């Protein structure tokens, strides 16, 4: 199937359209890039400002929305729950996985393994 992504000609229809609540074009592009071809999506909360969140997770990786001045919600895609957990741990910042449970559990499992490895002085 072929899809068009460019407008090549503009033809007026004679009918005016009023967008009462138009979408934010930057947010639409960010979401389409960030959520791309991933098999799994997660929503996380970062306890940082939108500017700081964008430095941690670029707009090309996640779709951001502010939740007050010191909190940002990010939607992010990944190959699977474990892959997302690995990426989130690599951020080295406090965060909360809001959904799905599979990503939250994978993050907990990886964190527990890291703790156990360091508590015992052993490596896997």
Rounded mean pLDDT, 51-62: 93
Helix (H) or strand (E) holding 102: helix 101-120
Whether 13 maps to a domain, the answer reads no
**% of the chain beyond a pLDDT of 70:** 83
Whether 15 maps to a domain, the answer reads no
The tally of domains found in the chain comes to 1
pTM (predicted TM-score): 0.70
Whether 19 maps to a domain, the answer reads no
Whether 70 maps to a domain, the answer reads yes
43 Cβ contact partners less than 8 Å away, ≥ 6 residues apart = 73, 74, 75, 76, 97, 98, 99
Whether 3 maps to a domain, the answer reads no
Structural domain of 46 = 25-120
Rounded mean pLDDT, 50-56: 96
């Amino acid at each position: 199937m072929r899809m068009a992504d460019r407008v090549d000609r503009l033809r007026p229809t004679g009918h005016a359209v009023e967008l009462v609540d138009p979408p934010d074009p930057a947010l639409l592009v960010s979401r389409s890039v960030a959520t791309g071809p991933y098999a799994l999506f997660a929503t996380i909360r970062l306890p940082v400002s939108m500017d700081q969140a964008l430095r941690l997770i670029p707009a090309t990786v996640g779709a951001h929305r502010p939740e007050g001045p010191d909190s940002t919600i990010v939607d992010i895609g990944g190959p699977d729950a474990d892959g997302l957990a690995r990426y989130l741990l690599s951020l080295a910042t406090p965060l909360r996985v809001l959904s799905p449970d599979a990503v939250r559990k994978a993050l907990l499992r990886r964190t527990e393994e890291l703790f156990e490895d360091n508590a015992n002085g052993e490596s896997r």
